[in-house]
Structure 1
Amino acid sequence: MNPVSRLRSSSRTPFLQVVKTAVAVVAAVLLCRLVIDGPFPTFAAIAALLVVQPSINQSFVKGLERSAGVVLGVVLATGFHLWLGDAVWVVLVVIVLAILLSWALRLTPTSATQVGISGMLVLTAGVVTPNYSADRILETVIGAVVALVVNALIVPPVLLEPAHLAVARLARDTAAAFERIAIGLTEGWDDDRWHEALLQARALRQQHARAEASLTAAGESLTMNPRGGRHRTILQRDVAVAEHLRVLVTRVTGMTRAIRDNTAPGLRSDPVVGSIATEVARIGADVRALSARVEATRIDAPDGTAALDEGPDPAEAAAPALTAPLRVVRPNSQHWVLIGALLEDIRRVREELLGEDD
């Protein structure tokens, strides 16, 4: 892999966030020049650059981490300067002690890095006095607060739509996986077709992991966000649907693997297998209906708020197509292991869709 390619991200930062970062830096520097009489407020500019994050909650956390690191670094550097002066070896001692102190206090990477950087900047910037150190701390606080305010006032981000679409897509693809099983049992697929179906079913696990990551990011974006409102209700529904889909993804993968490992030429002719195919097709229809209900929930209403359908909760499968559990009076002597496993999986999926207890 080309090392230079690692310098570039697979996706761009939203342009709005770039604008907010620039506004925060300019506002923080100008405000510091009005409040503090001194050199260019470097600490304020750095704080503003780092604190503007994709969500308000992340900005708040970054502001706390940044401020804590600056306070520790400035206090450490000021103390050693008053004690030992500002020789080069003193700067190195302060940096090493900052690293050890951060490790001892179990600081986050942001705070730990900031302790050493702040200490180094204070000792190398010029004459260090208690007033100088206090001004640098004040600069950092101003920069962090300005960045947080800018991020909150200029269209605070809501990352619900990508998560909502990811959940709907996962439900749709899970339904397709069940439908593939029904088609394969009906048509009598060979080993290669079942192997391909298994690969597609296994891919659902990674897709579910990505959907959960999107839901986590959406939750982060709604924390401390004044635009949260009814978006939080939709997020709760999507989280509930994703939890249902986690079980269904596990089941459909297991069913596909069981058939791939135990399929035989005479499997298609077994009458119970035909009934199983019918039930699995109905499962696919129910999961596809679940996907449709998720997609029918509108995220962006004309007034800029979240709009909920008047229908049932998407996490609840209304009027499922599943029939009563199948009964096998005489098990097939050749395929009874596979048939028994599929029947148990159908029972568990049915319980999940109907919300029944095991």
Structure 2
Amino acid sequence: MATVLAWIVAQLLLPGELPVFAAIAALLVVQPSINQSLGKAIERCLGVIGGVLVAYGVSLIFGTSGGIVLLAIVVCIMLTWVLRLAPGSANQVPISAMLVLSIGVQTPGYAFERILETILGAGIALLVNVVIVPPVLLAPAGDALDRLNSEVADSLDRVATALKLPQSRASLTEMMLTARLLRPMLNAADKAIVQAEESLTLNPRQAAYRRVLDADLERLDRLKSLVTRTVGMTRALHDHYDDSLYLEPTVQALSLELVRAAHDLRLLTRGDDPAESRFIPHGDDELALTSPLVIAAPPPQHWILIGSLMEDLRRVREEIIGEPLS
């Protein structure tokens, strides 16, 4: 739609040459978010203006000989490299210079009209993007956070099971490898949040969704800490496990607390209505996590592992409850 509209408007305002620059500008400027469209519009306009200026300067110095186009392209590439221009502008500068020198030599005013044409096409595309508001990408971000939240809870359950029952070395290795997959999931969730935030920038609907994004940002921060603690507990168990561990009463109590933590973490998901998103329990279930365990003297052969698990469990509880423990 933006391309067609730019073509029609450019032909009406700038008759003569086919408005190819306006159509290309409109096609490239329309992006998934208004913020991205504005960036593309600026890149496109700067690239065309820079290319026209280079072509004009080269033609004044060296005339209109046959090799002038190749020289202008080389100058443009060097200029974009020195100025470290964005890819959109860097590609457009030599293209514009080449078109101006190859087509505009026989057409007076060609360069100036192409600049106006490009600005017109970019402006129309930006206007269309504002009128037809692009989608708000909060749903994908929420889904990514929910998947991460669920996998962290599953990892806590796996640690609880490994504490409760005897484990083989292969089972411990598999548990460790599975826990490491939380990192890529966290990166994916972080990227989804960035895209959601960008989709709201300059978006007319951002006020209605801002608090949802703020809640998701807070949720991501909590999940970052939970991922770190969960991976840490898994590694500690993997590195310090022995066959007598599950016989310790304290370890059995730790296993129960981890099951409760996993249960509570599953409650902390986005509700059915994204506008009411909060990192709080929802539904009929209640928090099951009790106060942290108090251990006066851990068994000597397991004190490093039990102490490490206790500290990580304390911090997991802080993130689930949403406030530091006194």
* TM-score past 0.5 threshold: yes
- Deviations for 1:295-327, whole angstroms, at most 9, x for unmatched residues? x1423xxxxxxx326xxx316899743322222
Contact 1:219 1:235 in 2 (8 A): yes
Query: Please, which moves more after superposition, 100-109 or 78-87?
Result: 78-87
Q: State the match for 1:226 in structure 2.
A: 204
CA distance in 1, matches of 2:320, 2:265: 8
Alignment of 1:332 with 2:299, yes or no, is yes
Find the partner of 1:57 among 35, 41, 52.
Answer: 35
Structure 2 CA distance for aligned equivalents of residues 54 and 267 of structure 1: 54
Check if 1:246 corresponds to 2:221.
no
Deviation of residue 351 (structure 1)? 2.6
Consecutive unaligned residues of structure 2, counting only runs of 5 or more, are: none
AA aligned opposite 2:237: I
1:194 aligns with 2:194: no
Q: Which moved more, 1:242-251 or 1:339-348?
A: 339-348
Native 8 Å contact 1:91 1:120 kept in 2: yes
Task: Give me the whole-angstrom Cα distance separating, in 2, the residues matched to 1:285 and 1:261.
Answer: 26
Opposite residue 315 of structure 2, the aligned amino acid is R
* Aligned match for 1:212, one of 185, 190, 193: 190
Aligned equivalents of 2:175, 2:268: Cα separation in 1: 22
Tell me by how many angstroms 1:215 deviates. 0.7
State the aligned residue count.
323
Correspondence 1:356 to 2:324: yes
SS, match of residue 180 in structure 1: helix
Aligned to 1:298: 273
Counterpart residue number, 1:143: 121
State the TM-score, normalizing by the size of structure 1. 0.85
Q: Which runs of 5+ in 1 are unaligned?
A: 1-22, 300-306
> What is the aligned partner in structure 2 of residue 104 from structure 1?
82
Q: CA deviation at 1:260?
A: 1.4
Distance 2:296 2:2 in 1: 73
Percent sequence identity over matched residues? 45
Aligned to 1:170: 148
Change (3 A) 1:321 1:130: farther
CA deviation vs aligned residue, 1:108-145 (integer Å, no higher than 9, x gap):
11111111111111111142666221100001001111
Contact persistence 1:237–1:315 (CA under 8 A): no
Q: Is the 8 A contact 1:122 1:128 kept in 2?
A: no
Cα 1:243–1:316 change in 2 (3 A) is farther
1:1-358 correspondence runs (5 A): 23-127=1-105, 131-291=109-269, 294=270, 296-299=271-274, 307-308=275-276, 313-314=278-279, 320-354=287-321, 355-356=323-324
Aligned equivalent of 1:303? none
After superposition, give the CA deviation of every residue in 1:217-263 in whole Å (9 maximum; x if it has no partner).
11111111123332221111111101100010111111111111221
Q: Distance in 1 between matches of 2:280 and 2:33?
A: 27
Amino acid across the alignment from 2:36:
Q
RMSD: 2.1
Counterparts of 1:91 and 1:286, CA distance in 2: 68
Cα distance in 2 between the residues matched to 1:130 and 1:348: 72
**Aligned in 2, Cα 1:285/1:161: closer, same or farther, shift over 3 Å?**
same
Q: SS state of the match for residue 188, structure 2?
A: helix
Code of the residue aligned with 1:350 in structure 2: it is: R
Query: TM-score scaled by structure 2?
Result: 0.93
How far did 1:85 drift?
Answer: 2.6
Amino acid in structure 2 at the alignment position of 1:70: V
1:345 to partner: Cα distance: 1.1
Matched residues in 2 for 1:38 and 1:130: separation? 12
Alpha-carbon spacing, 1:85–1:38, altered in 2? closer, same or farther (3 Å): farther
* Per-residue deviation, 1:270: 0.3
| Rounded Cα–Cα distance in structure 1 between residues aligned with 2:325 and 2:126 | 46
Q: CA separation in 2, counterparts of 1:43 and 1:217? A: 29
